[in-house]
Structures are given as structure tokens and as C-alpha cells.
Amino acid sequence: MEAPDEAQLCFPQLLNTSCTKTQQFNAENVFLYVVLSLVSFLTVTLNLLVIISISHFRQLHTTTNFFLLSLAVSDFFVGLLLMPIRILRMESCWVWGSFMCGLYNYTSFIITSASVGNMVLISVDRYVAICDPLSYPNKLTHKRVQICVCLCWACSVLYNGMILKEHLKQPDKYNSCHGQCRAVIDFKTGTFDFIFTFFGPITVIMALYMRVFVVAVSQARAMRSHVAAVSQKGSAPVSAKRSERKAATALGVVVIVFLMCICPYFSPSLAGKDTSNISKLSVIGIWLLYANSCVNPIIYAFFYPWFRKSVKLTVTLEILRLDSCDANVL
């Protein structure tokens, strides 16, 4: 009797130790491949435009935009590395060997942790800008911001190296058959990782933005009550405060969307399940987190006119001009 199609082996030559393919090749799955591939392409393209814009135009070399640049870099690698490999893994067969398995899981953990760290830095930036605007230029200088971004990525590399130490030594340790690539974290380490990577950062982010919201509302009320007394000479600081609140609103949307996307990703940890669980719910959580990397540039396009202008100059190849870096995009 012939074996059913769904029982096809990942490695037919290894009859006793090969994993079986779980994904059937049909029209529905082909459509899913196309959609996810399109999301991956958009993620790479849109975040590359963010990276080019902030890096090229001098007017965009602000402290806040440096944090956005770091976030765009992590989102870019999600679309360039994590999404394509995740699409190819939809058949549940890993064909690139144990070394690449360990490297892939390590890279995915690094990028996720760096994204969380960038969100915390963005929240701190908005907190200082709104709650202590007079000392903001002195506290968050370009050099300090660059150091913070570098430390964020360095800590992510070192921290996840410790978390995945056993997996990096023996990438095949938790695989039950050839064609699997699993990274399993024990309960104690997983609990620490949950607190350090999810609960702690989210608590900090929410606390900072609640404070930012309260201060922004109080500032708006004060401005409305004194708007009749504001002279033309004094309109500049009012406009400056308004621009800071607008930036806080835009980045607040970025943070809220990120929290909505990351919560399902950590739902197995909330339920007390181990990280090896490959249920449909966990897969949806992973792709929802990945999709956030595609959503961020769309939020920038909606809230930031400078992004739309810089994209237009980039797409029309105006940035190839020698003096294009000094163009007015604000």
C-alpha cells in the first residue's frame, strides 16, 4: 500500500530517523507562500528606505531618529533573514545543517531582544523630551545616543549567547529526528528571559508613556488657556512643544503596535508552556511579531512628512546629486 502524501519524508534516505513533511503542496499553501513573501519584500524595502533616509539627509540626524534608525535595522534583518527562512520552514524540514540551525535561532533571539531594547530607548527619549525639555539637548547628545544604541545591540548579543549557550554547543540536542531545528529553554531560564525580555521592558515602557501622556495633556491645557496671550514672538517655543508632542504621539503608536504584536509571541511563556511548542498559535504569534517590522515604516509614512519627502527623493534618485544630503526634507 502506498504511503499518503502527507507522510513524505524530509530525508527519504533516512527511513528510520527522518522527520515527515507536514505541509501539503496545494493552492492554499501556494497563496500563503506568496502573501508571506510579499510581506517579507515590503519589510525589507520599507525599512531600507528608512535607513537610507535617516543616514543620508543631514536634517534627519537627530537623537530620536537615531533610535528609529536602530529599530529600522532590526526590522530590516527580520525581513531579510528571519522571514524568508521561516517561509522555507513551513514544511517543517530543516535542510541546512546543525550549525546553521544554531546560528538562525541565535540571530532571531538577538533581533527580537534588540527590538525590545530599541523600544525602551525610544520611550526614554520621549519621556525626557516631554517631561524635561530644557535639559533634553544636554542629556541626550548624539554621542550618548550612539553609545546607547551600540550597548543595546551588544547586550542583546551577549545576553542571548548566555540564554542559548547549550543550544549553540549542541544544536541537535533537542531534535527528535533529522529535519528538525528546535531551540528549547528550560523553565528556570525561560522564566528569567520572560521577565528580562518581556515583563520588565513592557513595565518600563508603559510607565514612561503614562507619564508622557499626563504631562502632554497638562501642557496642551496650559497652551489653550494662554493661547490668547501668546505673541508672535513667543510662538516659536509653542510650536516646538507641539512638534515634540506630535513626535511622542507617533512613537507612542509605534510602541503600542509593538506591544500588541509581541504579547502573542510570549503567550506560550504566559501559559507555562516550553518554547519547543510548535502549535498554530505559536506560529501565528511569531508571524505577528515579524509583521510588526513591516508596519513600523507605514506608521512613519502616516505621521512623518519628512519620511514621505525623503522617500520621494530616494525613489526618484535625487539622492545621487552631490548636494542632496543637505536637501530640506522637514
Asked if residue 228 belongs to a domain, the reply is no
CATH code where residue 55 lies = 1.20.1070.10
Contact yes or no for 177/170 (Cβ under 8 A): no
Q: How many CB atoms neighbour CB 54 within 10 A?
A: 21
Contact between 73 and 110 (Cβ < 8 Å): no
Q: Are 43 and 83 in contact (CB under 8 A)?
A: yes
| Distance in angstroms (rounded) separating the CA atoms of residues 315 and 284 | 33
Q: Does 91 reside within a domain?
A: yes
Mean of all residue pLDDT scores within the chain: 82
Could you list the residue range(s) of the whole structural domain that residue 202 is in?
Answer: 22-221+235-326
- The answer to whether position 131 is within a domain reads yes
Q: Kindly tell me if the per-residue pLDDT of 14 is higher than 80.
A: no
User: How far, rounded to the nearest angstrom, does the alpha carbon of residue 98 sit from its chain's CA centroid?
Assistant: 26
**130-153: b (≥16 Cβ within 10 Å) or e:** bbeeeebeeebeeeebeebbeebb
> How many helices and strands in the chain, by DSSP H and E?
13, 0
CB distance 156 to 114 below 8 Å? yes
Indicate the range of 115-119, 181-185, 203-207, 315-319 predicted with least confidence.
Answer: 181-185
Cβ atoms 318, 324 nearer than 8 A: yes
In a domain, 14, yes or no: no
What domain count does the chain have? 1
Lowest pLDDT segment from 76-90, 133-147, 184-198, 213-227 = 213-227
| pLDDT per position as a tens digit, 282-302 | 778 888 889 999 998 988 888
Residue 54's pLDDT is 94
Q: Give domain status of residue 11, yes or no.
A: no
Task: Give the containing element (helix H, strand E) for 97.
Answer: helix 97-131
Whether the per-residue pLDDT at 185 is higher than 90: the answer is no
Q: What is the pTM of this model?
A: 0.85
pLDDT at 276 (0 to 100): 47
Asked if residue 86 belongs to a domain, the reply is yes
Least confident of 39-48, 68-77, 153-162, 231-240: 231-240
Decide if 15 is inside a domain.
Answer: no
Encode pLDDT of 116-167 as tens digits. Answer: 999 999 989 988 988 888 888 899 999 999 999 999 999 999 999 999 998 8
Query: Residue 236 burial by CB count (10 A; 0-12/13-18/19+): exposed, middle or buried?
Result: exposed
Q: Is 170's pLDDT higher than 80?
A: yes
Q: Is residue 201 a part of any domain in this protein?
A: yes
Amino acid making up residue 203 = T
